[in-house]
Every structure is written in structure tokens, then in C-alpha cells.
Amino acid sequence: MDTVLRYEMKYRFNNEMLYGHVENSIKLMERMLMDMCGPSDISLGIELRRVLLSKGKRLRPTLAFLCYKMSGNPAYAIEPLMCMLELMHTASLIHDDVIDNAGERHGEKTIHKVHGNLMAVQCGDYLLAKAMEQLHIYRGTGINEAMSDISQQMCIGEIQQIRSLFSMKKQTKENYFLQVKRKTAFLMGGSCYSGALAGGADPLKAEILRQCGIEIGIAFQLKDDILDIKGEKAFGKPLNQDLKKGVFTLPLLLAMETSPSKEITLLAEKREKTQLDIKKIIQFISDCKGVEKTQQIINECSEKAIFLLKSLKDCPEKEILKELAKNLANRKI
Amino acid sequence: MEQSNFYKKIEKMLEGDYKLLEASGYEKPTEIEKYAIYEAVLENYQGEKRRELAAACQCFYIFRKLHLLPDKQPESATLLGDYFFSRFSQCLIPIDSVKLIERFSDFLKEDSIKQTEIQGGFPKEHYIAFVKDISRQLEKTRRKSNGYGT
């Protein structure tokens, strides 16, 4: 779990015992993950250990854990599910880095940059095989079916995105939200849902938590899209990658809704953009308050998530989930 | 007749997936490749969800073949491969066999390591033999649980 979230959870709640429970399960999950990396004397095993030890937020396993504890009637162990979620997520990140030709992830060189595309893809596939090993634990719960449906949706989301790159006509606001749900929000919702089911929640409660997770996921992705435009250099992420790749995110789409511009459309659709092109588009977004309007939607998603939780019994985990919804929407990382 | 109906039903199940493959510029598996897999299941397993098993095996085959192409076509081969893996798991899970999932997981682990160490291409004959073996194993389990002799 990254430093900011740890700080928030430990000190804001002043609840060392609960903090300890979450952290303990995360640590156990991380030990289990290390055991799943394959032989330590071959490149695949070495690379997987390097990647799994890098500073990921462990957000999906954390969501699953919180919803598990909120359900209060645990029928299954939670750590294998946490592993499954983190394995699926890490495999998708490794493969995404090949697809995007990304050089770095969480401050580490990507596998394909070090060893080539084939190694990276096979590393991701190895993690999928390890995720499969956990399936038998959750037979008959609905968790396995949910995970494979989400996995298909994530792929469809990526495929649709690639097919509509550099096209303002195809990248409408409606399509944007559909992509956000498929690529990010459904897995976060699925993490909450599966954690709840493993914790013995009834279908209604599990569904409420899924919807909560989806709202958190939408807020998270929208914030990520704002950071790509306005992130701080201190965090070391190169800016404006979405624009360069031909992905039109909500700040731009909302700006275009406010003030349709043929000039900006032409610039955005250029496959090779100059620094000046990017600057003009960013200025346009700023003039039309695209970022502020996006932040408003983020706040609405965060509020929806918190509202959904109102119907559930009060408990410390529910408070943490509420704070998580607020913190992710406001994150600076 | 049974064989022809069986093949038609699997083709129907995977119709949309094959369209996606072709729309992305890849060729569908040949008739010989497809029918080798379907036959391997049909001849060795008589129980429920045979179509799902054949479809799962086909999707897994396409997934592995695509994931050997990331140097030539990093974007489409990786992404489509992931899609076919998700379809494989969607077809596999309803069969509800722990042993089957274990066998596929072991195959995938071994093959992933092999491809990074040797890069020998996807072992098609070895895979057909694997499909026959898991089908036989499923049949053995089915007969045992129905009280038939093995």
C-alpha cells in the first residue's frame, strides 16, 4: 500500500488495530505472491519478483478485504482472492505496457524494455496461470464467473479504445465512460463484489458494494486522466501521454462540449503532435474549465459511493471505505 | 451426423470471437486445426458441457498462438490473446472441474517458461495430445461418479 494511503489510514482513523488487520492481510498476500513467481533462477521468475515487489497501491486487494470484513460472515479465506485480483491486475499492466510501449511503471523499467515483448507477455501469462490456481477455492460463489466476465470486458474496452484512437467522432463522452467502466471501474467493482461474496454477504449487499466500487473506480480513472494533463513533475510521470497516443479524456471532451472547435479537433487528431500543438490543446482545456468540470464529476462519483454505503451497517471498515472514496478522488499521486 | 452437429454448435458459440479475430487482421484457425481440437474432445469425453470444453480448448489454442507474436504485432497480438484467454476462462468455469483447471494452469505455466527459455513455437501436436488426455480424464471421473466401471 503506498505511503500516502498508509498515512491516511493509520493516522486519520487512529485505529491501530484495524490498520494492523488490513496491513497484515496485505503483507500475507505479498508473501504469497512472492511464492507464486516461479523458479527464482530463471529470467521469468526474476522479472516477476521485481515487478510484484514494485510500489503498486494494492488497491484492488484492499477493496476486497474491506468488503470481506464488512460482510461479517466469512465462508472463505480472503488472501487467495486478494492474490487473484493482484495477479490479474499485474498481468494486465504488464501486457498494457507492451501494447503502449511504456518504458517505466511504478518507477521500475518495464519487463519488455529489459527483455523484449515475448518475455513480458509470457510473464503476464504465467501470472494468469497462477490466478487460475485460486479458482477452485471460490467454486459455486459466483466470484469466478464475475472475474472472467470482467476480464473479457477489460479486453473489449482496450480493443475499442485502440479502434477509436485519434478520432474525435468515435471518442464521445458516452463511449469514454463506457471505456472507463470496462478498463478500470468494473475490476474495482468486482474486487468489492468478490470480497463481499467471500465474506458471506447476501447478493443485495454484494451488489451494493459492487456499485460502490464502480463509482470509486470511475473517480480513480478520471483523476488519473486529470493528472495526465496537470500532474506535478515531482511525481515523475511524463505528462500528456493520452493526447500523444490519441486518447481523448474527459477534460478535453467536456471542453469541446462547452466550445466545439474545429481547430482543436484537427490538432487532437494529429498523429504526430508538436509541443506547440499540445500546449494549444491544454490551453483550450484550461480556458473551457475542462479539468474543473471533470473534478466536479469526480466529486459526484465519490459522493455516490458514500451514499451507497449509507444503507449498510456501520463498522470501521465502512468508514475506511468512505475515506478511501474521498482520498482516491483527491489523490495527488 | 452427431459430429457435424457438434462442430456446428461450437462454431456458433465462437462465431463472434472468430469475427473479432478476422476484423483484427488475423486468420481464423484452419478447418484442420479446429476439427483436430473438437475431435479430440468428442472422441474422448461423453459427458455434459462437451461444447464448452471444446470451445475452451479452441480459445486457449488461439490465445497461446497469438501470445507468441508480440514481437511482430505487439498491440493486436497481445490484446487479442488476452481476449481469447478471457473467453477460454468463460467457457471453462461452467464445466466446474477442479482437475481440469489445474491441468490447464500447469500447461500454461510450463508453456510460458518454455517460450521464454526456448522460443520453439506453440507445440500443436503436444497440445492436441493434452486435449485428448484431459478429455479422457474428465470421462473417467464422470464414469466413476456414475458408478460405471473404468
Chain A contacts of B102, Cβ < 8 Å?
133, 136
B118 touches chain A (CB under 8 A): no
CA A179 to the chain's CA centroid: 13
For residues A198 and A143, the answer to whether their CB atoms sit within 8 Å is yes
Nearest CA-CA distance, residue B5 and chain A, Å: 27
Chain A contacts of B111, Cβ < 8 Å?
125
Chain B contacts of A39, Cβ < 8 Å?
113
Residue found by looking up cell 461418479 in the block: B145
Instruction: Say yes or no for a CB contact (<8 Å) between A44 and B89.
Output: no
Instruction: Say yes or no for a CB contact (<8 Å) between A132 and B101.
Output: yes
Q: By percentage, how much of chain A surpasses pLDDT 90?
A: 69
The three three-digit cell numbers of residue A306, written as one number: 458514500
Radius of gyration of chain B (CA): 15
The three three-digit cell numbers of residue B14, written as one number: 465462437
* Mean pLDDT (whole number) for A117-144: 94
Chain B contacts of A136, Cβ < 8 Å?
98, 101-102
Phi, psi of A37 (to 5 degrees): -85, 0
Residue A311 has pLDDT above 50, yes or no: yes
Confidence grade of residue B149 (pLDDT, cut at 50, 70, 90): low
Chain A contacts of B90, Cβ < 8 Å?
145, 148-149, 152
What is residue B28's predicted lDDT score, i.e. its pLDDT? 87
A105, containing H or E segment = strand A104-105
First to last CA, chain A: 13
Q: Is the dihedral of CA A177, B76, B13, B40 positive or negative?
A: negative
Residue found by looking up cell 463509482 in the block: A215
* Mean pLDDT (whole number) for A239-268: 94
Q: Which of B75, B89, B94 sits opposite A99 (nearest CB)?
A: B75
> CA-CA distance, B34 to B23, in Å (whole number)?
19
Nearest CA-CA distance, residue B113 and chain A, Å: 7
The three three-digit cell numbers of residue A121, written as one number: 507477455
Question: How confident is the model over B60-112, as pLDDT tens digits?
Answer: 999 999 999 988 889 999 999 999 999 999 999 999 999 999 999 999 999 99
What is residue A6's predicted lDDT score, i.e. its pLDDT? 52
CA angle A162, A163, A168 (to 5 degrees): 100
Residues 130-159 of A with CB under 8 A from B: 130, 132-133, 135-136, 139, 144-145, 147-149, 151-152, 154-156, 158-159
The three three-digit cell numbers of residue A165, written as one number: 484512437
Q: Which amino acid is at A325?
A: A
Residue B1 has pLDDT above 90, yes or no: no
> CA-CA distance, A75 to B119, in Å (whole number)?
43
Of A306 and A109, the structure prediction assigns the larger pLDDT to A306
Q: Is the dihedral of CA A86, A92, A98, A104 positive or negative?
A: negative
Residue A127 has pLDDT above 90, yes or no: yes
Q: Which of A129, A135, A148 sits opposite B86 (nearest CB)?
A: A148
Question: How confident is the model over B4-13, as pLDDT tens digits?
Answer: 888 999 999 9
Chain A contacts of B119, Cβ < 8 Å?
118
The ipTM is: 0.94
Chain A contacts of B75, Cβ < 8 Å?
99, 162
For residues A150 and A227, the answer to whether their CB atoms sit within 8 Å is no
DSSP assignments along B73-104, one per residue? -HHHHHHHHHHHHHHHHHHHGGG--HHHHHHH
Residue found by looking up cell 515483448 in the block: A117
Question: How confident is the model over A31-55, as pLDDT tens digits?
Answer: 899 888 888 888 888 888 888 877 6
> CA-CA distance, A94 to B116, in Å (whole number)?
15
Least CA distance to A122: which residue of chain B? Answer: B112
B104 touches chain A (CB under 8 A): yes
Query: Model-level pTM?
Result: 0.91
